[in-house]
Structure 1
Amino acid sequence: MRHWLPKEAWAWLQAQRGLPPDEQPLFVDVRMEIESLYVGRPPGVVNIPWYEYPDLRPDPQGFARKVLQEAGRLDRPVLLICRSGKRTLDAGAALEAAGFTDVAHVVHGFEGELDEHFHRSSRNGWRFEGLPWEQM
């Protein structure tokens, strides 16, 4: 799995825009749907939660099946993002175990690491870097 800082991930996504849609990377937000909708998310991201409320337990095989359904094939590049870059490590490992051959994740995720006041988006992450995002 490749580990890309937010600006690196965004630049890579933009560089792939000229490819046919089914060859462009699949950008997957692995956060719960409510997080993705109300906290905000990058444009063009597909939400496939690593786990969801109320169980809050991952289903690695189920997750990989859903990503494959969206991706269409195991060799399509997949870029993962979550809140802080931690869930994507497990989700990416599950995809690789399922046979995906080109998996990357956004280091620090959408909101980044906690600061000394337990706030996010103040040290690093997609939103901190000023990259495009949208909110419900």
Structure 2
Amino acid sequence: MTAYAGDISPRDTWEKLSQSPDARLVDVRTQAEWQFVGVPDLSALEKQPLLVSWQVFPTMARNDGFAHQLAAQGITTDTPLYFLCRSGVRSKAAAELMTSLGYSQCWNVTDGFEGPLDGTRHRGTQAGWKASDLPWLQG
């Protein structure tokens, strides 16, 4: 796959979103994850995350319409895009795909929304958007 712009921490993503009026956060998780786990709350930045699934729940087949659905959100090839998933795997794949399609500023948000499993096999406690104390909403 084509190299994307790079990896960026959730806190640095928040800073970039606050500094650039055109920058967009793209949450590539599933509808079920948005509804039951939560979504980043960008209202303090007068923005909303773009919700476009990389995989389709419940089969988890890759969303073949991903690039088209994202482009339909009004972004351009120079829009700074920050891709977020649960832990950073799907978002990396999305950043690679969009880079290969000519989008020049695609970043992967490291550790995603929930981060890795901790010692008790729970997410959201040691890395990622939630553990970085960034705003989010549930349900």
Q: Structure 1-normalised TM-score?
A: 0.88
Write 1 or 2 for the structure with the bigger share of strand: 2
Equivalent residue for 2:36? 38
Equivalent residue for 2:135? 132
1:74 Cα shift?
A: 1.5
**8 A Cα contact 1:31 1:48, kept in partner:** yes
* Percent of matched pairs sharing the same residue: 31
Structure 1 portions without partners, runs of 5+: none
1:101 partnered with 2:104: yes
1:37 Cα shift?
A: 1.9
**8 A Cα contact 2:53 2:63, kept in partner:** no
Structure 1 counterpart of 2:32, one-letter code: I
Structure 2 portions without partners, runs of 5+: 42-47
Q: How many pairs are equivalent?
A: 129
Equivalent residue for 2:13? 9
Query: In structure 2, what is the Cα distance between the partners aligned to 1:39 and 1:59?
Result: 20
Query: In structure 1, what is the Cα distance between the partners aligned to 2:36 and 2:23?
Result: 24
Please give the root-mean-square deviation of Cα atoms over the aligned residues, in Å: 1.3
Equivalent residue for 1:57? 61
Paired residues for 1:71-90 under 5 Å: 71-90=74-93
Structure 2 counterpart of 1:42, one-letter code: P
**8 A Cα contact 1:26 1:71, kept in partner:** no
**8 A Cα contact 1:50 1:58, kept in partner:** yes
Query: In structure 1, what is the Cα distance between the partners aligned to 2:7 and 2:52?
Result: 19
Query: In structure 2, what is the Cα distance between the partners aligned to 1:57 and 1:50?
Result: 9
**8 A Cα contact 2:114 2:128, kept in partner:** yes
Runs of 4+, deviation exceeding 4 Å: none
